[in-house]
Amino acid sequence: MLDELLEILRDPNAQWILLGCMLLGLSSGIIGCFAYLRKQSLMGDTLAHAALPGICIAFMLTGTKSIMLFLIGAGLAGLVATLGISWITKYSKLKTDAAMGIVLTGFFGIGIVLLTQIQHSGSGSQSGLDKFLFGQAASMVSSDVATMLVVSLFLSGSCWLLFKELKLVSFDPGFARGLGFPVAFLEQLLMFFMVIAVVVGIQAVGVVLVAALLITPAVSARYWTDRLGMMMVLSGIFGALSGALGTLLSAAAPNMPTGPLTVLAATLLFSVSLLAGPRKGLIARRVQHLRAKREHLAARERQAVPAPSRGVSQ
């Protein structure tokens, strides 16, 4: 097993793919922090499912499989999906959860219809579009990896440059508006970043599970720190680690989609954080609880001692 992994690491192509997946995990982890703080974690899931019809239409119109075109198709579909959600919640009594569910499954249904159309039309059998459901990092070619590199650097760089603005919008949009920040624009920008992260992630992780790359590392990081900057760094590291683990394991085992392995790696990191996180982790809480109990008992005993002595003196 270990020899196999080392063998894979020596292959230059695999090195590129590994790097691409790590950067992807890094940038989704960073974007995910903002999504988590803005209570929009499941938005990533909706955007990913909604991207499917966009990708299919882009493929049907052009007949080529290029990540740039897919990005445009998925971006437009994501835009329609977010508009749909906000319209449904604004103009009817349905709440956000139902609106997201409707848009997510409705778009995915349309996407499946288009996907089967492409597959039945013959040209699609080699298109490899079905790999998009669960991701297959091994099927990426060097131009895909190059796009992923550029996009990941762009995402991480923009978050670094706009850190202050995005932070303010995530924590207190009302105050940000009062200070004269273009809040609506920044919110749209964050949504746009999320669409990009999701679309680029689809090829490595797949439509169904790409949301986990946005959610799980961010939540894991939240267990270790209370500072946004630190949380973003940690979340990025967790994301990169899961991406690396998923890619390596999937390359070592034949016939294994990358997405589920990456997600499981992220979940493993989450479980460790859930247990071992300082102050918020389950173990730390248990210890705190026991200590508080012991202190309380000790305090009661100290109080209890003078009581009989007082009784004697009277």
How far is residue 242's CA from residue 291's CA, in Å, rounded to a whole number? 35
Q: Does 91 bind another protein (CB under 8 A)?
A: yes
Q: Does 284 bind another protein (CB under 8 A)?
A: no
DSSP 42: T
By CB under 8 A, the residues from 126 to 145 that bind another protein are 130, 133-134
Contacts of 198 (CB under 8 A, 6+ apart): 28, 44, 47, 48, 51, 74, 78, 210, 211, 214
- Name which position in 11, 39, 146, 278 contacts another protein (CB under 8 A): 39
How far is residue 114's CA from residue 75's CA, in Å, rounded to a whole number? 17
Q: Does 85 bind another protein (CB under 8 A)?
A: no
Q: Does 108 bind another protein (CB under 8 A)?
A: yes
How far is residue 199's CA from residue 132's CA, in Å, rounded to a whole number? 10
- Name which position in 4, 61, 62, 95 contacts another protein (CB under 8 A): 95
Query: Which C-beta is closer to another protein: that of 94 or that of 252?
Result: 94
How far is residue 26's CA from residue 213's CA, in Å, rounded to a whole number? 9
Radius of gyration, CA atoms only, the chain? 24
Query: Which C-beta is closer to another protein: that of 118 or that of 176?
Result: 118
By CB under 8 A, the residues from 173 to 232 that bind another protein are 208-209, 211-212, 215-216, 218-219, 222
Are the C-beta atoms of 201 and 213 separated by less than 8 Å?
A: yes
Q: Which residues bind to another protein, rule: CB under 8 A?
A: 36, 39-42, 44-45, 88, 91-95, 97-98, 100-102, 104-106, 108-117, 120, 130, 133-134, 208-209, 211-212, 215-216, 218-219, 222, 255-257, 259-261, 263-264, 267, 270, 274, 280, 282, 285
